[in-house]
Amino acid sequence: MLKRLHDDIRRCTRCSLHATRKNAVPGEGPVDAQVFFVGEAPGAIEDEQGRPFVGRSGVLLTELINEIGLSRGEVFITSVLKSRPPSNRPPYAWEIGACRPYLDRQLEIVNPRVTVLLGAVAITSIIGPWKVSEAHGRFYECDGRTFFMTYHPAAALRSTKVKEIMHNDFEILRRELCL
């Protein structure tokens, strides 16, 4: 089921980003993953490789995942947008809207215990406008799903303070998951 969906995503032409991307990046992880991470959009390296979070943000995300006793191979990782916006500009609302059914379907199929929203775009797209500085470290129940909110790893690469906050947020997540 997931494979068919990901093949559809790779062929998707619902928005104009299909014309500038090298590869769509559907996401990856086991279909029975208990923890599901949602970023913003693929960057240059992800676009090259067709895989999520394989650049510098991905190195930090993997470190944070490992720190709470999980391996990258046992979680699901994707982003709100499945195609890279040119020059990594922020996603437009209509691109988020066009891609949203794919994320919804991935969540339906994987049905994780917790969905971790990484940064403002993921939080705002799924829950609604909420400052990351207020939302981070919190769980939020919505439509029968449990979401956990934190910063995007790219923000932590720019600020040691944010990086510290992310480590604390992941510790909150670890305790909730009893890992």
**Between 25 and 173, whose beta carbon lies closer to ligand URA?**
25
What is the rounded CA–CA span in Å between residue 103 and residue 108? Answer: 9
Interface residues for ligand URA in 66-105 (CB under 6 A)? 79
CB 100 within 8 A of CB 7: no
3-state secondary structure (DSSP) of residue 1: coil
CB 77 within 8 A of CB 35: no
CB 146 within 8 A of CB 115: yes
Q: Of residues 57, 115, 124, 150, which one binds ligand URA by CB under 6 A? A: 57
**Between 27 and 141, whose beta carbon lies closer to ligand URA?**
27
Is 28 an interacting residue with respect to ligand URA (CB under 6 A)?
no
Is 42 an interacting residue with respect to ligand URA (CB under 6 A)?
yes
Q: Of residues 15, 21, 37, 40, which one binds ligand URA by CB under 6 A? A: 40
Is 39 an interacting residue with respect to ligand URA (CB under 6 A)?
yes
Neighbour-count burial of 72, counting CB atoms closer than 10 A to its CB (0-12 exposed, 13-18 middle, 19+ buried):
middle
Residues at the interface with ligand URA (CB under 6 A): 25, 39-43, 46, 52-53, 57, 79
